Amino acid sequence: MKQQANWSPYDNNGGTCVAIAGADYCVVASDTRMSTGYSILTRDYSKICQLAEKSVMASSGFQADVRALQKVLAARHAIYQHQHNKQMSCPAMAQLLSNTLYYKRFFPYYAFNVLGGLDSEGKGCVFTYDAVGSYERVGYSSQGSGSTLIMPFLDNQLKSPSPLLLPAQDAVTPLSESEAIDLVKTCFASATERDIYTAAKYPYFTLFSEHVRHVLQGDKLEIVVLNVSGIRREYMELRKD
């Protein structure tokens, strides 16, 4: 039988991202495992990137493309700051991300993104994307290898109103900030039992110091919370399998 070598410019490094918008906050979370096939490349890779003062992007897919996308967005945001002497708002960053992805639609970034932050009114906002820039503002979203497990659970718990309803209803979730964080932890505790690319469940242990992150060697859940006070990060340790 004739052998043929196959090569692809893409890889899927797995991982799962979740974002939930509230009345005055936004929670963005992701695991820190990066894999290829059945191999674990690292257990300490952050998939969350702060793009602006009130905008945070979490990305799954091919992490080389994700890093290239982050660099392009950072450069364009720097140009925007020089021209307008202010930070880009989260809805404006959402449009920039859409334009950037659509520009590469014929050789797209293999990146599946969810953007979270606060809008000009201080409300939480979440924008979810496909690989070529089509996006929508929603109350919650998930991307990555575990998204098919997490989204039905979020639909059941949060029951986002249909965008077709008139008059239009607010997409933010009714949960408090602490309840949203607990819900995110529950999502990952459930999904990691079925998805090998999202690491495995372990009793909850939250870390508030960023310095501890470099000491722990196991998989972690990284949670970024945006509110009127600013941005803070929390970490939950996962099993070292």
Q: Which residue has the higher pLDDT, 59 or 3?
A: 59
The predicted structure's pLDDT at residue 114:
97
- CB of 198 closer than 8 Å to CB of 189: no
Return the top range by mean pLDDT from 92-106, 144-158, 174-188. Answer: 92-106
Give the largest Cα separation in the chain, rounded: 64
| Average pLDDT across the chain, whole number | 87
Looking at the DSSP bridge assignments, the partners of residue 52 are 55
Cα–Cα distance for residue pair 112/220, rounded to 1 Å:
20
| Cα–Cα nearest to 51, from 91, 19, 3 | 91
| Cα–Cα nearest to 73, from 106, 34, 111, 45 | 111
The predicted structure's pLDDT at residue 168:
66
pLDDT of 16 above 60:
yes
Tokens matching residue 222: 């990284």
Q: What is the mean pLDDT of residues 1-14?
A: 85
Question: How does 5-35 read in b/e, with b if 16+ C-beta sit within 10 Å?
Answer: eeeeeeebbbbbbbbbbbebbbbbbbbbbbb
pLDDT in tens, 162-212: 667 777 666 678 889 999 999 999 999 888 888 888 875 333 333 444 444
Q: What is the mean pLDDT of residues 103-125?
A: 95
The predicted structure's pLDDT at residue 161:
66
Q: Which residue has the higher pLDDT, 195 or 118?
A: 118
Cα–Cα distance for residue pair 173/180, rounded to 1 Å:
9
pLDDT in tens, 28-78: 999 999 999 999 999 889 999 999 999 999 999 999 999 999 999 999 999
